[in-house]
């Protein structure tokens, strides 16, 4: 088996899928890239059993088809050192010895049998949809931070994709905060849903760009498949039932605060430095058109208070939040103005951006902390 490929082209492709590689694999073969030559095409895969990423490179020069597993660290480190130059790979099919020849040198290493590499799952009876690269990237960015880490509730460690005839909804929650990101420009023929784990979403985020190009998505009840820019990602879904999120979003929120997002964010950030280092608790007190943000840490006698003017319609209210949640949410929104909708001090607060893309609908929910005094 023999092929010639540009060092930079190969490096770029390998780097785009190398995120899948785990540092300590139970299966040693997973420390390798799987190289496969077929029809003058080089197909490289990397996998951690849960997620597999594959990329393709067109070759001009290859002799015959075959597979080999090449140690990933080894080849990545080597390729990084080359300026752009063609490399000739020669693989001995019986011993899996690999020889890499550059213009000035020869490098030999031992690979492994490509057949040992886990089979890449194929998707059967899949449903399909297409979504703009930019929209998917946005959805991932806005939801990923709100996912949970509780091992006892694995479904909440992922992002749920929910499809129906009208829209596509992405939901994430860790039981303290929740994000619902809805795309009105994507529809499916029938209602369905699946839960994507965190890692492949992070990887997807890395390969998407902010363009209008379409990402092809296929899914069944076991796996999901994404294809974009020559790169394919296939991953196992999280099995389980996602909590009924619609039921916990309060419907009646009569107290509505409208405020400049950046000034609220700056204020909360500043005040929260003075809050308790474990609970990060801040207090929001709204009366008239004045928002008071305060925090205290009794252990160190730290205290901060700040006053902001805002537009407010509703009753006076005093509500406590974990400031980290507020900061994360405000950071992930992009609009100039945000609405904070509240009902009672013990019920969820909703953050909704004002204006923005007409095809997207963003709702962020944060549970308060109990205030006793």
Partner 1 sequence: MKTTTHNIDIITDLETPDSESINTPNLDLPTSDIELRSPNTIVHMDLDTFFVSCERLLEPKLNGKPVLVGGTSDRGVVSACSYEARQFGVHSAMPMRMARQLCPEAIVIRGNSAIYSKYSDMVTDIIKEESPVYEKSSIDEFYIDITGMDRFHGSYKWATELRQRIMQETHLPISFGMSTSKTVSKVGTGEAKPNGQINVLRGLEKAFLAPLSIKKIPMVGDKTYQKFRSMGIEKIQTVQEMPLELMERVFGKNGVIIWKKANGIDNSPVIPFHERKSISSSLTFEKDTIDVRKLKEILTTMAEKLAFYLRNGDKLTSIVTVTVRYSDFDTRSRQMRIAYTANDHTLIATVMRLFDQLYQRRVMARLVGVRFSGLVGGGYQINLFEDSERTIKLYQAMDKVRNRFGQGAVKRAVTMDTKGVGQMSNPFNGQAPIIPAHRRS
> Which residues form the interface with partner 1 (CB under 8 A)?
173, 175-176, 178, 243, 248, 276, 278-279, 281, 297-299, 320, 322, 346-348, 365, 367-373
Beta-bridged to residue 316, according to DSSP, are none
Nearer to partner 1, 83 or 370 (CB): 370
Q: For the CB of residue 280, give the shortest distance to partner 1 in the complex, in Å.
A: 8
Q: Min. distance of Cβ 249 from partner 1 in angstroms? A: 9
Establish how many alpha carbons lie within 13 A of residue 349's alpha carbon, considering only the half-sphere containing its beta carbon: 25
In angstroms, the Cα distances linking 155 to 118, 176, 270 are 25, 15, 34
- Residue listed under structure tokens 């990923």: 144
CA 232 – CA 217 distance, rounded (Å): 10
Residues 246-282: b if buried by 16+ CB within 10 A, e if exposed: eeeeeeebebebbbbbeebbebbeebbebbbeeebbb
Smallest gap from Cβ 346 to partner 1, in A, equals 5
In the complex, least distance from residue 232 CB atom to partner 1, rounded to whole angstroms = 35
Q: What is the b/e burial string over 39-59, where b = at least 16 CB atoms within 10 angstroms of the residue's CB?
A: eeebbbbbbbebbbbbbebee
- Separation between Cα atoms, residue 66 and residue 69, nearest integer Å: 11
Q: Least CB distance from residue 105 to partner 1, whole Å?
A: 56
- Minimum Å gap between C-beta 361 and partner 1 is 20
Choice between 4 and 369, CB closer to partner 1: 369
Smaller CB separation from partner 1, 11 or 365: 365
Which C-beta is closer to partner 1: that of 94 or that of 278? 278
When the beta carbons of 56 and 344 are compared against partner 1, the nearer one is 344
Interior CA angle at 115 toward 20 and 1, to 5°? 100
The smaller minimum CB distance to partner 1, of residues 10 and 178, is found at 178
């Amino acid at each position: 088996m023999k092929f010639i490929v540009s060092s930079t082209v190969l490096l770029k492709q390998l780097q785009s899928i190398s995120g899948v590689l785990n540092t300590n694999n139970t299966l040693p073969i997973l420390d390798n890239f799987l190289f496969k030559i077929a029809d003058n095409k080089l197909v490289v895969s990397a996998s951690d059993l849960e997620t597999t990423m594959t990329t393709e490179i067109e070759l001009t020069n290859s002799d015959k088809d075959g597979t080999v597993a090449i140690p990933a660290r080894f080849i990545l480190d080597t390729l990084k050192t080359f300026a752009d130059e063609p490399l000739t790979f020669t693989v001995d099919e019986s011993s899996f010895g690999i020889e890499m020849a550059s213009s000035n040198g020869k490098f030999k290493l031992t690979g492994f049998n490509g057949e040992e590499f886990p089979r890449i799952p194929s998707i059967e009876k899949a449903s399909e949809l297409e979504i703009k690269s930019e929209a998917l990237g946005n959805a991932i960015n806005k939801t990923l931070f709100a996912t949970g880490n509780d091992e006892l509730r694995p479904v909440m460690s992922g992002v749920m994709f929910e499809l129906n005839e009208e829209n596509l909804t992405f939901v994430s929650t860790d039981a303290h905060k929740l994000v619902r990101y809805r795309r009105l420009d994507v529809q499916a023929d029938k209602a369905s849903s699946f839960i994507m784990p965190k890692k492949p979403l992070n990887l997807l985020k890395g390969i998407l760009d902010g363009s209008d190009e379409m990402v092809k998505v296929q899914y069944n009840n076991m796996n999901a498949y994404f294809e974009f820019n020559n790169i394919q990602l296939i991953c196992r879904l999280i099995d389980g039932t996602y909590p009924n999120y619609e039921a916990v979003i309060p419907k009646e929120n009569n107290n509505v605060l409208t405020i400049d997002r950046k000034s609220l964010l700056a204020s909360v950030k500043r005040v929260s430095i003075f809050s308790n280092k474990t609970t990060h608790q801040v207090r929001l007190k709204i009366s008239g058109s004045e928002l008071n943000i305060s925090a205290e840490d009794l252990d160190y006698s730290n205290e901060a208070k700040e006053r902001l003017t805002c537009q407010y319609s509703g009753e006076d209210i005093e509500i406590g939040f974990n400031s980290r949640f507020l900061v994360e949410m405000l950071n992930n929104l992009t609009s100039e103005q945000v609405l904070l909708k509240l009902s009672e001090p013990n019920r969820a607060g909703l953050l909704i951006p004002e204006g923005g893309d007409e095809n997207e609908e963003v709702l962020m929910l944060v549970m308060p902390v109990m205030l006793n005094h």
